[in-house]
Structure 1
Amino acid sequence: MTMTDLLELPPAVSVATAARALGIGQDKAHALIKGGAFPARVIPLGATTRVATASLWEVLGVRA
């Protein structure tokens, strides 16, 4: 994922998109979320989980 891609993300992204940005697989991302160790802020929305983009940027050291 390029810097341009990261900066164009919406305010919250899917776990798959966050995992891709972090360079990990979806299974690993879900395991980290389940264990409470995902490095970015997770937003549970019923059966769906989203990741706060600003928090993801912070983890990746992106300055918008």
Structure 2
Amino acid sequence: MNKSTRPTLSDVRKWPATISVAQAASAIGCSKSHLHERIRRGDSPVKTIPLGSRHVIITADLARLLSAEGDAAGEPDGIRGAA
């Protein structure tokens, strides 16, 4: 993966079971602060695990979101409210 490009779904599927908010944000195509805010509000598009004062993202759920992007017509980057 090149630092100037978003990671592909194939890249994401090779990542460890959990990743940082910053890494997930780069894959989704939003800022780290935006994803942190959505996590804080309880409407993150991906499942998170709180670890003390920080959160980690479940990579399998991120891959699910990214694979569904083509099905989310009219919604930017396939981001929907948490189910």
Report TM bin, short chain: 0.7 to 0.9
Structure with more contact order per residue of length (Cα contacts < 8 Å, sep ≥ 6) = 1
Taking structure 1 as the reference length, the TM-score comes to 0.87
1:4-52 Cα deviation digits (max 9, x unpaired): 3212110000000010110000010011000111111010011221000
2:13 is aligned with 1:4:
no
The CA distance in 2 between the partners of 1:12 and 1:52, in whole Å, is 5
Distance in 1, Cα, partners of 2:24 & 2:63: 10
What value does the CA root-mean-square deviation take over the aligned residues? Answer: 1.3
**Deviating runs (4+, > 4 A) in structure 1?**
none
Q: Does 1:38 align with 2:44?
A: yes
Task: Give, in whole Å, the separation in 2 of the partners of 1:4 and 1:31.
Answer: 27
1:24 is aligned to 30
TM-score by length of 2: 0.69
The secondary structure found in structure 2 opposite 1:40 is coil
Name the structure with the higher strand share: 1
Gap regions ≥5 residues in structure 2: 1-6, 69-83
Q: Between Structure 1 and Structure 2, whose CA radius of gyration is higher?
A: 2
Identity %: 35
